Chains A and B, each alone.
Chain A
C-alpha cells in the first residue's frame, strides 16, 4: 500500500465521518417532525431543531457543575460515547479492513457493549435534585419508615441499564451473528465479500428474520419507546441524562443522532453487503437505509406505550427466539 493509497484511505475515512455527522443531525428532526408530528396531527418542531439547532444552542449555554460525586468523569461520558460510536463506524469501513482483528464482529460487539455500560456509569454518577436532594421535609416526625435507606432515581436507571446489558442486548447480538453464520467468518471484510458473491444476506429467510430482530435490537439500544424503561418519564424522568447541561447535553444530542446513523450502517454492511464508503455511490444506499430505520422507529414509537419489565421480558424473549430461528435458518 503506497503512501498515496494510505492518504486516500485516511481522507476517505474522514470524508465518511463527515457524511455521518451531516446526515445524523437531521435524523431527530425527521423522526419528530416528519413522522411523529404528522401522526399526532400537530405542527412539530422545525426539521433542523432537534438534531442541529438544539446542540448549537447548548454549546453557548453557561457551563454548570452537575450534581455528581465525580463531575468531570460524568461530563466526559457522552464524549466517550461519541468516540465509541465513531470507532463503530470506522471498523465497518473498507479502508480499515487491513486491520483484520479490529474489523471483526467481536470488536463490533465489544464496542456496542461499552456503549451500553456508559449508561450504567452515568446513572451511578448522577445525583439530581429531583429525588433525594429535593429540599423537602421527608424524614421528619410522623413520617413513614424513617429508617429505610434512600436512593436517587438515577440509581434506579443505573440498575435498569445493568439489566438491559444482561438481557436487553440479546436481539442485536443474535441478529449480528446471522451474517457471521452465513459467511462462515467473523471478519467484516469476509461478510461483505460473501454478499458480493452470493447476494445480500437480507434476501434470504435467515436475513429477513435477522433484519426484524436487528430492528428491535436497534430500538432497545437507542432506548426508544416502547423500550425506554431506562429513562421512563413516569418515574426516572430522563434517568442517567438528567444532570447534563450546556455543551455536555449537546454531546448527548449529537451522539444519539450519530448512533442511529452508525447502527443503520452496520445493518447495511452486514445484511446488504454495503459498507459506508464515501468513494462509492453506495453511500447513498447507506443514507436510504438510515432514513428507513429512522422512519420505522418513529412510527413504532408513536403507537406504543412504554414497556415495564412485565412487557419487556416476554417481548425481548420472543424477539430473541426469532433471532435463534434466524441463526438456525442460516445453516439450512
Chain B
C-alpha cells in the first residue's frame, strides 16, 4: 500500500509501523524534493529505510527513549529553511 508524501513536506509514520518486530518507535519522513513521492506502508522491516532513502527522502529514525517532538521540530525548521532558499 502507498502513502503520498507531498513535495517539500514532512510527516511522521508512527501509526504505519508494524511495531511488533521493528527497532524504531517512529520515523520522520521529509520530502526535500519538489515532486510527490510514494512510500510503502505499513512498514515491516529495516530494509524499508534504505529503499526509501534511495527515492530521495530524508528518513529520521526515532528510538523509544528519544524525544520525538524535538526531532520533529528540528526537521521542520530545516525544511522551512530549504523552502525559503527555493523561493528566493
Contact = CB atoms under 8 A, between A and B. Distances in A.
Nearest to B52: A142
Contacts of A141: 35-38, 55-56
Contacts of B39: 142
Interface centre among A137, A141, A142 (most CB of B within 10 A): A142
Interface string A112-152: 00000000000000000000000001001111100000000
A137 B6 CA distance: 9
A142 B38 CA distance: 5
Nearest to A140: B36
B2 interface: yes
Instruction: Report the interface size class on chain B.
Output: 10 to 19
A140 B35 contact: yes
A143 B4 CA distance: 9
B46 interface: no
Instruction: Report the interface size class on chain A.
Output: under 10
A142 B35 contact: no
Contacts of A144: 2
A142 B35 CA distance: 11
Interface in B22-78: 35-40, 52, 55-56
Interface string B1-26: 01010100000000000000000000
B52 to A, nearest CB: 8
A143 B5 CA distance: 12
A137 B39 CA distance: 12
A143 B35 CA distance: 13
A143 B52 CA distance: 12
B59 to A, nearest CB: 13
A140 B6 CA distance: 10
A137 B37 CA distance: 9
Nearest to B6: A137
A290 B56 CA distance: 65
A144 B40 CA distance: 10
Nearest to B4: A137
Nearest to A139: B38
A144 B2 CA distance: 9
Interface centre among A137, A143, A144 (most CB of B within 10 A): A137
B33 to A, nearest CB: 8
A142 to B, nearest CB: 4
A143 B38 CA distance: 6
Contacts of B2: 142-144
Nearest to B5: A142
A195 to B, nearest CB: 63
A142 B6 CA distance: 12
Contacts of A140: 4, 35-38
Nearest to B36: A137
A144 B39 CA distance: 11
A252 B74 CA distance: 58
Nearest to A143: B38
Nearest to B31: A141
A141 B56 CA distance: 9
12 contacts: A137-B4, A137-B6, A140-B4, A140-B37, A141-B37, A141-B55, A142-B2, A142-B38, A142-B40, A142-B55, A143-B2, A144-B2
Which 7 residue pairs spanning A and B have beta carbons closest together? Answer: A142-B38, A137-B36, A141-B37, A140-B36, A143-B38, A142-B37, A137-B4
Given A137-B4, A141-B55, A144-B2, 18 more contacts: A137-B36, A140-B35, A140-B36, A140-B37, A140-B38, A141-B35, A141-B36, A141-B37, A141-B38, A141-B56, A142-B2, A142-B37, A142-B39, A142-B40, A142-B52, A142-B55, A143-B2, A143-B38
